[in-house]
Amino acid sequence: CPDLCECLEAAKTVKCVNKNLTDVPPDLPPYVRNLFITGSLLTRLPAGAFPAQRLPDLRTLNLSGNHLRAVEEGALAALPALRQLDLSGNPLESLSPQAFGEGGTPLEELVLRGALRNHSVVLSLAAVLQSGALRNLSRLELADNGLLLLPAGIFTALPALRQLDLSNNSLVGLRNVSFQGLNQLQSLNLSENSLGVLRNSTLAQLRSLPALRSITLGHNTWVCDCAIEDMVAWLKESDQVEGKEALTCAYPEKMVGKALLKINGSDLDCSTPGDLPSQLQTSYVFLGIVLALIGAIFLLVLYLNRKGIKKWMHNIRDACRDHMEGYHYRYEINADPRLTNLSSNSDV
């Protein structure tokens, strides 16, 4: 048994808890099936962290509560019996897409609670999941990570997934998330997020999952406007949502605390179109039609009064010509001194 560890041969378990280890002990007994290295100072899992062929029966590996920042290529490749991996509570920054080796892994449960605070490692995890290396995964826990959005298609290569926990994050929407192909999914936890509504595309996917029996949606910020009408109808007809009677509106103010199941169409203010750009476009078209009509009426009035307008224009022209001739005459008098004197004597 390694120093600083406790070995229980009868239970085939080794515990190295709160021992300030900086590396994985190299001399682990080959009989171990359950290995706990928690509360230590591990910062990285390099390639070969677990000696090849030395741990043929290791099924459960708990590395939670350490200081792991990097899981490098091949770090978990030499564990042919690994079924459960817990990396919770580590400040992960990088997770190599080849961490489990080239041929994949028989891993069935992956727990990453509070380990994905760094956005770059979320993208790394998506690459691992989409690579097909974890095709046998049946339980995935991504709770407590402050996730706002999930990478597109992150779950598309998990055909054996049965339990998916996304609780206690900050998810504001599921538009990028595809649940298609998760035909074995039985439990989906979306509680304690910032979801305002489930769109029709998401509702259609949830309806199509044949094995889905439990959906948890509590403690979200449901916005009770016209957009939630289809979701309310789905809630009323669905038997998948647990505790749906307790789901209440968070916005707008007049609807705060009202149960979603008790909402009727008359409760929702649907009189104002929700699509403001479309509304403005309609207004502009109507304004254009009105202006065109006014212009056509103006041209028609001009045409019907063309003779009067022509006579009026001639009168204005003659008046302007007489006025200009008067100005011209006075200018000639003022410009010639002789005419000026003559004008003065005639005045006398």
Residue that is written with structure tokens 């001639």 in the block: 314
> What is the predicted pLDDT for the residue at 21?
92
Task: Indicate whether 38 belongs to any domain.
Answer: yes
CB burial of 290-315 (b: ≥16 within 10 Å; e: otherwise) equals eeeeeeeeeeeeeeeeeeeeeeeeee
- Rounded Cα distance, 86 and 36, in Å: 9
Contact between 167 and 216 under an 8 Å Cβ cutoff? The reply is yes
Task: Indicate whether 264 belongs to any domain.
Answer: yes
Quick: pLDDT tens for 9-29. 999 999 999 988 999 998 899
> What is the predicted pLDDT for the residue at 313?
81
> What is the predicted pLDDT for the residue at 69?
96
Task: Indicate whether 223 belongs to any domain.
Answer: yes
Please determine, for residue 174, whether its predicted confidence score (pLDDT) is greater than 60. yes
> What is the predicted pLDDT for the residue at 126?
94
Quick: pLDDT tens for 28-38. 999 999 999 99
Query: Residue 312: what residue type?
Result: W
Please determine, for residue 265, whether its predicted confidence score (pLDDT) is greater than 90. no
Please determine, for residue 242, whether its predicted confidence score (pLDDT) is greater than 90. yes
CATH of residue 185's domain is 3.80.10.10
Residue 258: pLDDT band (50, 70, 90) is very high
Sign of the CA dihedral with 279 first, then 196, 244, and 163 last: positive
Mean pLDDT value across the chain:
87
pTM: 0.75
Task: Indicate whether 299 belongs to any domain.
Answer: no
Question: Which position has the higher pLDDT, 165 or 298?
Answer: 165
- What is the mean pLDDT of the segment spanning 68-92? 94
Of 74, 33, 160, 184, the closest CA to residue 109 belongs to: 160
The total number of structural domains in the chain stands at 1
- Rounded Cα distance, 136 and 110, in Å: 11
Task: Indicate whether 215 belongs to any domain.
Answer: yes
Residue that is written with structure tokens 């090849």 in the block: 52
Question: Which position has the higher pLDDT, 104 or 337?
Answer: 104
Q: How many CA atoms lie within 13 A of 86 on its CB side?
A: 16
Task: Indicate whether 243 belongs to any domain.
Answer: yes
Distance in Å from the first CA to the final CA of the chain: 141
Contact between 158 and 132 under an 8 Å Cβ cutoff? The reply is no
Quick: pLDDT tens for 87-132. 999 999 999 989 998 877 899 999 999 999 998 999 999 999 999 9
> What is the predicted pLDDT for the residue at 130?
93
Task: Indicate whether 309 belongs to any domain.
Answer: no
Residue 213: pLDDT band (50, 70, 90) is very high
CB-count burial class (<10 Å; 0-12, 13-18, 19+) for 330: exposed
- What is the mean pLDDT of the segment spanning 213-232? 94
Q: Residue 21's domain spans which residues?
A: 6-285
Task: Indicate whether 213 belongs to any domain.
Answer: yes
Contact between 67 and 43 under an 8 Å Cβ cutoff? The reply is yes
Quick: pLDDT tens for 127-159. 999 999 999 999 999 999 999 999 999 999 999
- Rounded Cα distance, 88 and 112, in Å: 5
Please determine, for residue 271, whether its predicted confidence score (pLDDT) is greater than 60. no
> What is the predicted pLDDT for the residue at 347?
47
Pairing of strands 60-62, 44-45: unpaired
- What is the mean pLDDT of the segment spanning 215-240? 94
Quick: pLDDT tens for 42-69. 999 999 888 767 899 999 999 999 999 9
- Rounded Cα distance, 23 and 348, in Å: 127
